[in-house]
Amino acid sequence: MVVELELSDDEVDRIFRALADATRRDILRRTIEAEQSVSTLAAAYDMSFAAVQKHVAVLEAARLIIKRAEGRERLVRTDPAMIARAQLLLERYQDLWRHRIRRIDEILAEPVETPDPKPDTPGGSHARD
């Protein structure tokens, strides 16, 4: 199976919108640790079951989690492949900024060249009027 590593702009937007909310980040954290039912997740928050379902739907649309049916329950788990793709994107940004910082350090470490002062012109010094 070939996994596409590059993320489209739409995928990146969905991922970062999903991760912009603290509740969704917490749901993701919980589902990394273990697969959980939506009911179990909902019990952990001071909000309605429907609100938690909406958060799960946003994470699912971003493909950060996978939801499956088991009987009457809906079980949720993190999709490690999408997490890896998002991590790769962040590592590329990190590499870009590290390179830029190294370049700035190199520039700052270069000796500063000061121009030699011009010698006085023959015939005397410069007069100021």
According to the model, what pLDDT value does residue 26 have? 96
Can you tell me the mean pLDDT for 20-28? 95
pLDDT band at 117 (very low <50, low <70, confident <90, very high): confident
Percent of residues, the chain, with pLDDT higher than 90: 57
According to the model, what pLDDT value does residue 62 have? 95
Interatomic CA distance for residues 19 and 43, integer angstroms: 21
Q: What is the CA radius of gyration of the chain?
A: 28
The average confidence (pLDDT) of the chain is 87
pTM: 0.70
pLDDT tens string 62-84: 999 999 998 999 999 999 999 98
Residue 118 has pLDDT above 70, yes or no: yes
Domain limits, the chain: 9-79
According to the model, what pLDDT value does residue 125 have? 54
According to the model, what pLDDT value does residue 127 have? 53
**53 vs 113 pLDDT, higher one:** 53
Interatomic CA distance for residues 49 and 96, integer angstroms: 42
Sign (positive/negative) of CA torsion 33, 3, 10, 57? negative
According to the model, what pLDDT value does residue 126 have? 56
**Does domain 9-79 fall into CATH 1.10.10.10?**
yes
Scanning 20-120, the segments in alpha helix (DSSP H) are 22-33, 38-43, 49-61, 80-109
